[in-house]
Structure 1
Amino acid sequence: MPYGYITELNENVERKHVRYNNRYGLAIAADLYYEKGADQKEGLPALIVGAPYGGVKEQGPAVYANELAQRGFVVLTFDQVYMGESAGEPRHVSSPELFAESFSAAVDYLGVKVPFVDRNKIGAIGICDSAGFVLSAASVDTRIKAVATASMYDITDVRGMMNLSQDQLNEMKDDLAEQRWKDFENGQPEYKPSFPETPYPNVDTLPETDPITNEWQRFYAVPRGFHPNARGNFTTTSSLAMLQFKALDYIKEISPRPILFIYGDRAHSRAYSERAYKLANEPKEKYIVKDAEHIDLYDRVDKIPFEKLELFFNDAFKK
Structure 2
Amino acid sequence: MRTDVTFPGAGPELAGHLYLPDGGAPGPRPTIVVGHPGSGVKEQASGLYARRLAERGFVTLAFDAAHQGESEGEPRGLEDPGRRVEDFKAAVSFLTTRDEVDPGRIGALGICASGGYALAATATDHRVRAVGTVSAVDISRQFRLGADGAQDPAVLPGMLDAAAKARTAEARGEGVQRFPLFPATEEEARRGGPHVFEGWEYYCTPRAAHPRSAKELTWSSVDRIAAFDAFRSIGLIAPRPLLLIVGGDAVTSWMSVAAFQKARGPKELVRIEGAVHMDLYDKDEHVTPAVEKLDEFFAAHLAG
* Structure 1: 5+ residue stretches without partners: 1-13
Match of 1:119 among 65, 82, 103: 103
Say if 2:19 is the partner of 1:27.
no
Tell me, yes or no, if the aligned pair for 1:206 and 1:217 is still in contact at 8 Å: no
SS in 1 for 2:280: helix
Alignment of 1:187-198 (within 5 A): 187-195=174-182
Alignment of 1:1-319 (within 5 A): 14-22=1-9, 24-40=10-26, 42-112=27-97, 114-157=98-141, 158-161=143-146, 163-165=151-153, 169-195=156-182, 208-211=190-193, 212-304=195-287, 305-318=290-303
The percent of aligned pairs where both chains have the same amino acid is: 36
Relative to the length of structure 1, the TM-score reads 0.87
Larger deviation, residues 225-234 vs 130-139: 225-234
Q: Distance in 2 between matches of 1:191 and 1:43?
A: 43
Deviation at 1:207, TM superposition (A): 5.5
RMSD: 2.1
Which amino acid letter does the alignment assign opposite residue 210 of structure 1? G
Q: 1:175 to 1:37 in 2, by over 3 A?
A: same
Deviation at 1:268, TM superposition (A): 1.2
Tell me, yes or no, if the aligned pair for 2:160 and 2:222 is still in contact at 8 Å: no
SS in 1 for 2:128: coil
Which amino acid letter does the alignment assign opposite residue 30 of structure 1? G
Tell me, yes or no, if the aligned pair for 1:129 and 1:152 is still in contact at 8 Å: yes
Which amino acid letter does the alignment assign opposite residue 213 of structure 2? A
Deviation at 1:93, TM superposition (A): 1.0
Tell me, yes or no, if the aligned pair for 2:137 and 2:252 is still in contact at 8 Å: yes
Provide, for residues 148-172 of structure 1, a one-character-per-residue CA deviation record: whole Å limited to 9, x for no partner. Answer: 110111102233337454x655444
Q: Distance in 2 between matches of 1:108 and 1:283?
A: 25
Which has the larger share of helix? 2
Q: Distance in 1 between matches of 2:55 and 2:155?
A: 49
Q: 1:281 to 1:207 in 2, by over 3 A?
A: closer
Q: Distance in 1 between matches of 2:189 and 2:41?
A: 24
SS in 1 for 2:251: coil
Tell me, yes or no, if the aligned pair for 2:182 and 2:189 is still in contact at 8 Å: no
Provide, for residues 180-204 of structure 1, a one-character-per-residue CA deviation record: whole Å limited to 9, x for no partner. Answer: 111222442212333599xx9xx7x
Q: 1:97 to 1:127 in 2, by over 3 A?
A: same
SS in 1 for 2:75: coil
Q: Distance in 2 between matches of 1:186 and 1:237?
A: 15
Q: Distance in 2 between matches of 1:214 and 1:207?
A: 5
Q: Distance in 2 between matches of 1:82 and 1:117?
A: 27
Deviation at 1:245, TM superposition (A): 1.9
* Structure 2: 5+ residue stretches without partners: none
Tell me, yes or no, if the aligned pair for 1:55 and 1:232 is still in contact at 8 Å: no
Tell me, yes or no, if the aligned pair for 2:31 and 2:102 is still in contact at 8 Å: yes
SS in 2 for 1:318: coil
Provide, for residues 15-41 of structure 1, a one-character-per-residue CA deviation record: whole Å limited to 9, x for no partner. Answer: 00000102x33100000001222443x
